[in-house]
Structures are given as C-alpha cells and as structure tokens.
A and B are shown apart, each in its own frame.
Chain A
C-alpha cells in the first residue's frame, strides 16, 4: 500500500521569496519529513508504575518540562506531565514500546499517519516562527521541545540541532497544508528553498 504524504498537494521543490542574489546555502530550507514512527505514550493518572527503569532504544523518558532525550534514530519529547511523544526512524520500535508499557498503566497510541512534519533549517528559522508563534524562542535550545500555536494552528516544535538551527514542526495531518502555507508565507521575506 502506498502511503500518501500530507503535503503532497502543496509541496513543490524550488527557490521562493526574496532569494535572488543570495547564496543558496544561506537560505532557510523547508522540507517535509516522512516515514517516521510517532507514538504517544501517556501514563494514567492512577498509575503508580515507576518510569525510571523504562528505556526505549536506550533512551529514558524525560521528566523535566520541555526536554527531549535523543540518539541518532529516536527522540522522546516531553509533552506534558506523564505524556511523551516518541519519534523514531525505526518503525519496528512500536512493538518494543507496546511490550515495555503495560496496558493497565499506559496508553500507547500510534500517531504515525496522523501528523504532518515540516522541517526548517537555517539561521532564520527561529525568526520565521516568531512571526506566528508567541513563544520566546530565545529560550529554545538543542533538544528542547515546546507545544504552542502558529497562526492559530496547534503545533509541537522540536529543536533537533543548533548549528545549523534545525526545527521540526508537528501538526495534525489535516492542518498540514495550512501550516505549510503559513510557514512559507513567513519565509518569503528572506527567501527560502523547498527541497
């Protein structure tokens, strides 16, 4: 079965906005990330299960607000108290997760097909997000994540790198096209490359 990308109808490769007479490598890069495993893990409120010993792909669940634990393949985002989002290249990790978290204590939900993911890369990435999002991006560091809104669309932002700045934006699949239009609109001023 062929999977259909959430941004298939809007994402066209090329250079856009004020890109003329500018070095292409300095432009903000916009791309869609596909084929990731996305799993929401929620611990029930009445659960007394300890999560300290739990490890997924060698990663522990972050306790601290806005923190991300990460390795080269997988990232676990803190999304709220007792609420995490696992994002991984390893598709087979789902079975491991389901085995690690007992049904009585955790809700494990596969969200892989229900999210659109847009990646922004470049020095202007934070400035672009500041145009539509009220969060103070000066506080956002590598391996931090934040849930917020961008022009009214609820998004999760994951900062995967700081040199160059690399941000992944997760939105509900149905909001993917709107978010792409909003983001690229904000990119026009400095020029951007879709690849």
Chain B
C-alpha cells in the first residue's frame, strides 16, 4: 500500500486519496484567443514520463484539499508533497 504525506493531515494511506492528474499542465489564460491546437494540447496531450512526475492528488476522504506530489512512476516513491500554492 502506498503512503502519501498530506501537507495538512500528515502521513495517510492511499485509500484516502484520489489521483488528480498531471500538475504541470497550465490552463490557457482567461479571455485569451486560443487555437484549436492549443486547446487540444491543454485538454488531451499528456506526457507519460518514466521517473519523476509532478502530480495533483486530492485528500478526498480526509481534509478534502488538493495538493502537489512528486512521484517516481517506476518505483512509486513519493519524494515530496506540497500545498497547491507552493512550488516543488
């Protein structure tokens, strides 16, 4: 079982969390003209790295906060977690 350190509640089991996808994806600026290609890239295009990956997780059965986690996609080791406003 994977243990994840929630920045608010501390070390908890993976059962309490939901995976929220790639944390590096940035939404196009509001009110800016966006081409179909840019929108397609934002909605669908994801990297699938082997190794360190910055992810969003949701402590859905705990404090219900979103946070960032840096995880190794091969070993599942979690190097660091941080609040959503913080940088990793």
Query: Hey, which bits of chain A sit against chain B, CB under 8 A?
Result: 65-66, 79-81, 83, 134-136, 146-149, 154
Contact = CB atoms under 8 A, between A and B. Distances in A.
Contact of B63 (A79, A134, A149): A79
Interface string B26-68: 0000000000000000000000000000000000111111000
A65 B61 contact: no
B8 interface: yes
Contact of A65 (B8, B16, B60, B64): B8
Majority DSSP secondary structure for residues of B touching A: loop
Contacts of B61: 147-149, 154
Contacts of A134: 1, 12-13, 15-16
A135 B13 contact: yes
Interface of B: 1, 8-13, 15-16, 60-65
Given A65-B9, A79-B63, A154-B60, 20 more contacts: A65-B8, A80-B62, A80-B63, A80-B65, A81-B65, A83-B63, A83-B64, A134-B13, A134-B16, A135-B12, A135-B13, A146-B9, A147-B9, A147-B62, A147-B63, A147-B64, A148-B61, A148-B62, A149-B61, A154-B61
A90 B21 CA distance: 44
A156 to B, nearest CB: 10
Nearest to B10: A65
A79 B8 CA distance: 10
Name which of B1, B11, B12, B60 has the most chain A CB atoms within 10 A of its CB.
Answer: B12
Nearest to B62: A147
A146 B61 CA distance: 10
Contact of A81 (B1, B8, B15): B8
B54 to A, nearest CB: 22
18 contacts: A65-B8, A65-B10, A66-B10, A79-B63, A80-B8, A80-B62, A80-B65, A81-B65, A83-B64, A135-B12, A135-B13, A136-B11, A147-B9, A147-B62, A148-B12, A148-B62, A149-B61, A154-B60
Contacts of A80: 8, 62-65
Contacts of B9: 65-66, 146-147
Contacts of B13: 134-135
A65 B9 CA distance: 6
Contacts of B60: 154
B25 to A, nearest CB: 22
A154 B63 CA distance: 11
B11 to A, nearest CB: 8
